Amino acid sequence: MIAAFIQSPVFRLLPVGVILLALQNTLFVDLQPAGVIVQVLLALAAAAGAAGGADRGALAGFVLGLIYDLGTDSPIGATALTMALGGVVAGIAWTIMVDPPWWLAAVFTTIGAAAGELAVPVLRIFIGEAEAFEPRFTRVVIVVAIAAGALSPLFVPLSRWCLRIRKPDWKALAE
């Protein structure tokens, strides 16, 4: 069972997620382009979707979201759900092309991150918050999405490593 866990995609994702959460809570809380906190874990989830398809994006989003929920005050499952959605949306890239080039992966990471961030207030409304949409929310979504796209050249290879997406696999799927 332990061997299976070590071989599973989650095994590498956990330490990477924890390190990214530590950076999210320290570095990225301060680095705020246009007054918006860049969501690195969401960016990684979306990059995983763009790199490995919707199912891997959902898995990465779920695991990273759980790490995020445990490390912050958000309800457990809330961020897992929104990040998983972000990963699924980014995975649409695979319907166009398996093994997308870096720029296409960046585009879909951007779209996935935007979807994930957009899902946050929608979910808040479902769980009973009256005014979940901030007046500056459009700016928040745009900045978070663009930042995720900018980070994708780094995060797409990182997510491939985390989820053990090997090159022959993508070629095999493409063929």
Partner 1 sequence: MGIYSPVRRRLIIALLLSSVLLLTLDLRGNQIFDTMRNGFQQAMDPLESAAEVVSRPIRNAWRGITQYDDLADENEDLRRQLEAQRADQITYRAAVIEFQALLELNNLPSLSDYDAVTARVIGETPNNLDQIIEIDKGEDDGIDVGMAVVSEGGLVGKVTRVFDDRSFIMLVRDQRFAVRAKVPGAAPEEPEGPEPPPTSANAIPNDDLTTTTTLPPSTTTTVPGATSSTAPGGIPGSSTSTTSTTSTTIAATTTTTIPPTEKETGTVVGQGRGEPILLRFVRENIDAGRFEVGDAVMTEGGEGSLSPPDIPIGTISRIRRQSGSAGPMIEVQLGADLERLSFVRIVLYQSLEEAAGDGG
Closest contact distance (angstroms) between CB of 1 and partner 1 is: 20
Tell me phi and psi for residue 76, to 5 degrees: -65, 125
Please answer whether residues 91 and 56 qualify as being in contact, where contact means their C-beta atoms are separated by less than 8 angstroms. yes
- Binders of partner 1 among residues 69 to 88 (CB under 8 A) are 69-81, 84-85, 88
Q: Is 22 in the site for partner 1 (CB under 8 A)?
A: yes
| Dihedral angle of Cα 55, 10, 140, 151, to the nearest 10 degrees | -90
Closer Cβ to partner 1, 17 or 106, answer by number:
17
Q: Is 54 in the site for partner 1 (CB under 8 A)?
A: yes
Closer Cβ to partner 1, 23 or 146, answer by number:
23
Question: What are the residue ranges of helices labelled H in the chain?
Answer: 2-7, 9-30, 40-52, 54-71, 78-90, 93-96, 102-126, 137-162, 167-174
Closest contact distance (angstroms) between CB of 43 and partner 1 is: 13
CA distance 54 to 91: 4
Distant-in-sequence, close-in-space partners of 12: CB < 8 Å, separation ≥ 6: 161, 162, 163, 164
Among 3, 4, 30, 101, binds partner 1 (CB under 8 A): 30
Closest contact distance (angstroms) between CB of 57 and partner 1 is: 9
Among 13, 46, 58, 162, binds partner 1 (CB under 8 A): 58
Q: Is 154 in the site for partner 1 (CB under 8 A)?
A: no
Q: Is 131 in the site for partner 1 (CB under 8 A)?
A: yes
